[in-house]
Amino acid sequence: MKVLVVSHSYLEPENQKNILALSALCAARCILPRRGSVLLFHDYAFKTSAAMTGAFFAYRTVALTEAQYVYASATMGLRRFKPDVINVEYNPWSLIFFQILIYRVVYSPKSRIVCTVKKNTFRGGTGIRGRIKRAVACFSLRWVDYIIAASQMAADLYTREFSVSATKIAVCHHLGVDVSLFRPSAKEPAVSSGTEETIVIGYCGRWDRDKGIEDLVEAMRLVNQSETQATVLRLMGCGAYGGFLDDYLRNMSQELEWLELLPPVPNAEVVKFLHTLDVFVLPSRVLDDHQEHDAHALLEAMACGVACIGTKSGIIPELLGNGEGFLVSPQNAQDLSEALRILIHDPKTRGLLASRGRKRALDAFALDVVAKKKSTILRGAINED
């Protein structure tokens, strides 16, 4: 089986391991931009290595808007490679999808098109603009042979909003985790200036309102109003494109001695941050056009054996809903503070959640597990009548 993956997700070196894992099961190639926004980095250049030779092909992009662009390539490798399946990791109504569709017709008409979708909300809007957006989405989906949804919520969206048949869609997490890198650490607990152990709560990712950072800070404020137990909150990251929360959090860190801010680091180094934590929190909000659709940092924390708390937003209940972590109401600092208090005072429960989370990461989200599932789905898509 020959697979061509088209995505910007693999600019991040740690994510490239997913393509290499897939390459062990089939002839896989990946097309990606030469530069782009990666996690918390506003601009990142693709870097190749001997291990990636023949697997990655980077092209310049031509941007029409901030979110819409096409690849500056006349063939995108389709004329020579002629894949059995083209896995497009963009919404099936994006400009890149239509570029791939045209190139497929010209260079490799027998290739099947499989879209990987993560977005689990759809706001078509009102009036003529909303009707046009929905019409374009329904039209483009006619050309998709199969859909890989990164979550059950995303799959349900496509069956509900666009009447995609359940036989044409499968759920498979978008990115696997290197569980040999993201693994538990036998760290010595940090201690305060007194004699009691300091409990470290943490989050890493974008400092944006949809991530619920303000809710987490408020929950920690509630905890520290009544606690004698030494606790700190560590936030690693920054706002997307200089978001306003950067200034808010810097000001708060000057007022609150228990709030620590850390700059973003390459994904492979996030493991060092996770090893300093006793509890990881992903407090994502539920908004009209946002629910958590990826939660990759949460998966990495689970793989590291860190007790986790998440909100009931998007994919999070699918990851923690079987006892792998605590689930709380989104945008509810009181609920979150109560969950934090339980884990602060109960090391046994922290240990239980840590072991359950690690096991779930090993069983369902390790690189080889995700690659095998994705390979099986792609082979099935090729064999569809």
| pLDDT interval class at 243 (50, 70, 90) | low
Whether residue 176 is predicted with pLDDT greater than 60 in this model: the reply is yes
Q: Assess whether the region 2-176+366-382 and the region 199-364 belong to the same CATH fold.
A: yes
CA angle 163, 166, 170 (to 5 degrees): 120
CB neighbours (10 Å) of residue 151? 27
The alpha-helical segments, DSSP class H, found in 178-315 are 213-226, 245-255, 270-274, 296-303
Question: Torsions phi, psi of 36, nearest 5?
Answer: 170, 180
| pLDDT interval class at 228 (50, 70, 90) | confident
pLDDT of 191 reads 41
Of 134-143, 194-203, 241-250, 265-274, the least confident: 241-250
Q: Mean pLDDT, to the nearest integer, of 96-117?
A: 96
pLDDT of 123 reads 75
Q: Mean pLDDT, to the nearest integer, of 30-39?
A: 77
Q: What is the pTM of this model?
A: 0.92
Q: Mean pLDDT, to the nearest integer, of 333-359?
A: 96
Q: Mean pLDDT, to the nearest integer, of 153-173?
A: 94
pLDDT digit string, tens, across residues 55-90: 999 999 998 876 789 999 999 999 999 999 999 999
Contacts of 348 (CB under 8 A, 6+ apart): none
Q: Mean pLDDT, to the nearest integer, of 280-293?
A: 94
pLDDT of 324 reads 96
Whether residue 326 is predicted with pLDDT greater than 90 in this model: the reply is yes
- Expressed in angstroms, the distance from the first to the final Cα of the chain is 17
CA neighbor of 206 nearest in space, from 294, 121, 118: 294
Whether residue 184 is predicted with pLDDT greater than 70 in this model: the reply is yes
User: Which CATH number is associated with domain 199-364?
Assistant: 3.40.50.2000
Cβ(11)–Cβ(30) below 8 Å: no
Contacts of 251 (CB under 8 A, 6+ apart): none
Dump the DSSP string for 204-240: EEE--GGGTHHHHHHHHHHHHHH--S-EEEEEEEE-T
Q: Mean pLDDT, to the nearest integer, of 244-254?
A: 86
Q: Is the four-CA dihedral 113, 118, 121, 127 of positive or negative sign?
A: negative
Of 39-43, 63-67, 243-247, 273-277, the least confident: 39-43
| pLDDT interval class at 44 (50, 70, 90) | low
Contacts of 372 (CB under 8 A, 6+ apart): 25
Of 37-51, 171-185, 343-357, the least confident: 37-51
Q: Mean pLDDT, to the nearest integer, of 298-321?
A: 97
Contacts of 43 (CB under 8 A, 6+ apart): 35, 36, 37
| In the chain, domain spans | 2-176+366-382, 199-364
Whether residue 354 is predicted with pLDDT greater than 60 in this model: the reply is yes
Q: Mean pLDDT, to the nearest integer, of 199-226?
A: 93
pLDDT of 113 reads 97
Whether residue 360 is predicted with pLDDT greater than 50 in this model: the reply is yes
**143 vs 50, higher pLDDT:** 143
Q: Mean pLDDT, to the nearest integer, of 278-302?
A: 95
pLDDT digit string, tens, across residues 15-27: 999 999 999 999 9
CB neighbours (10 Å) of residue 24? 12
Q: Mean pLDDT, to the nearest integer, of 332-355?
A: 96
- CATH value of 2-176+366-382 in 1.10.10.10, 3.40.50.2300, 3.30.565.10, 3.40.50.2000: 3.40.50.2000
Angle between helices 296-303 and 347-360 (to 10 degrees): 110
Whether residue 46 is predicted with pLDDT greater than 60 in this model: the reply is yes
Whether residue 112 is predicted with pLDDT greater than 90 in this model: the reply is yes
Using only C-alpha atoms, the chain has a radius of gyration, in whole angstroms, of 22
Of 93-97, 130-134, 350-354, the least confident: 130-134
Mean residue pLDDT of the chain comes to 90
| pLDDT interval class at 187 (50, 70, 90) | low
Q: Mean pLDDT, to the nearest integer, of 326-337?
A: 97
**354 vs 138, higher pLDDT:** 354
C-alpha distance from residue 110 to each of 78, 85, 147, 157 (Å): 11, 9, 17, 28
Whether residue 142 is predicted with pLDDT greater than 90 in this model: the reply is yes
pLDDT of 45 reads 64
